[in-house]
Chains A and B, each alone.
Chain A
Amino acid sequence: MSRLLSLIGLFLLVITFNTQSQEVKTIDEKGLSNLLKNRDGSILFINFWATWCVPCREEFPDIVKLAKNFPKVEYVAVSLDHPDEIKSKIEPFLKKMKAPFNNYVAKFKDDQVLIEMINKDWNGAIPATAIYSSNGKEVGFYPKKMSYTELEKELKKVIK
């Protein structure tokens, strides 16, 4: 009976994590700032994408693969679709991808604020990925589509 309860508990836990990871919340300037700064000892891998961006959709499965292969890193994906497209566009794509991490959609008064927060040299082309160290310092910024090999190589530089 005890084993059955444990298994049910584990099953519910997995379901909860999976459901949470594919739910999309909005993130604003304050939320992003907190995410970037309050690392609490964890490396952050953050990807900016959109359902309208073909190279972003092509890159996404490799980020999912990376998250599975390097689970100690915190992964976050920020969609640049409109917040009112969560149910119609963003979540269906994420469910298809089985994205095992936290997903947001940007809700900024001005996208330029978001761009400047991530990297001054970023001009807004997506996909773009940034890696932050455990103390909240940006240690890698890649404003382009990357292959799995490239993603892994850059992440390994940070994990060591």
Chain B
Amino acid sequence: MYKFITLLTLALVFTACTKHEAVATEKQASTTLDTVITNFSLPDINGKTHSLTDYKSSKAIVLMFISTECPVSNAYNSRMAAIAKDYAAKGITFLGINSNKAEDVAAIKKHAADNGLGFTILKDKGNVVADQLSASFTPEIYVLNGDLKLLYHGRIDDKRRVEEVTSNDLQKALDEIVAGKPVSVSSTKAFGCTIKRVD
């Protein structure tokens, strides 16, 4: 019994800790609000090239970094399709962007058809645009005005499960833009899948 107590004590001591410190923080670069995004051109999944400047007359341009394989992005498929449809009628352009290295045009095309994604989807080969914007996960949203100034960056809403959503952040921002008001909450955060970049 004495040995057992000794062993128990040793086990507890084993979990005791030390006092040390160091500094090693890696910061992520981010595209800050109100900055003007440099124009870019990308091909869509049908081979047609789109430039941001093609949509200068839009009330807003919504860039949605999406994935065919990410469960989080896929949980938003129907929400993205519905929002794009609703707000296209209000003068807003929606551009999906797929920057994942392993997801080719054929897979993206099939995924869009299977999930009723009616908005334009661009293929960002070599993740050039994802790098330009410092986009890092899916689904990640950037909203620009016609002058390509960043008005909103972040999530679509606050919950991956649609039935649990309490804050429709993207829609709220778009409603404010359509109403000619400043975006009241211009930056939000959520968990998503890391964009798989080229090595």
Residues of A within 8 A of B (CB): 2-3, 5-6, 9-10, 13, 17, 39-43, 50, 52-55, 71-74, 80, 82, 110-112, 115-116, 121-127, 131, 133-135, 137-145, 154, 157-160
Contacts and interface: CB of A to CB of B under 8 A. Distances in A.
A116 B189 contact: yes
A52 to B, nearest CB: 4
B8 A112 contact: no
B188 A112 contact: yes
Contacts, number: 140
**Interface hub of A50, A123, A126 (most chain B Cβ within 10 A):** A123
B25 A123 contact: no
18 contacts: A2-B3, A3-B3, A5-B1, A9-B7, A13-B7, A43-B18, A52-B70, A52-B72, A72-B16, A115-B190, A124-B155, A125-B193, A126-B194, A131-B24, A133-B22, A144-B194, A154-B24, A158-B20
A41 B18 contact: yes
Contacts of B14: 71
B22 A121 contact: no
B94 interface: no
Interface in B6-45: 7-8, 11, 14-28, 30
A143 B28 contact: yes
A48 to B, nearest CB: 8
A115 B167 CA distance: 17
A97 B194 CA distance: 22
Contacts of B161: 82
Interface residues of B, number: 42
A151 to B, nearest CB: 11
B77 interface: no
A145 B194 contact: yes
A132 B51 CA distance: 44
Contact of B17 (A42, A50, A122): A42
A9 B8 contact: yes
A33 B22 CA distance: 21
A154 B140 CA distance: 29
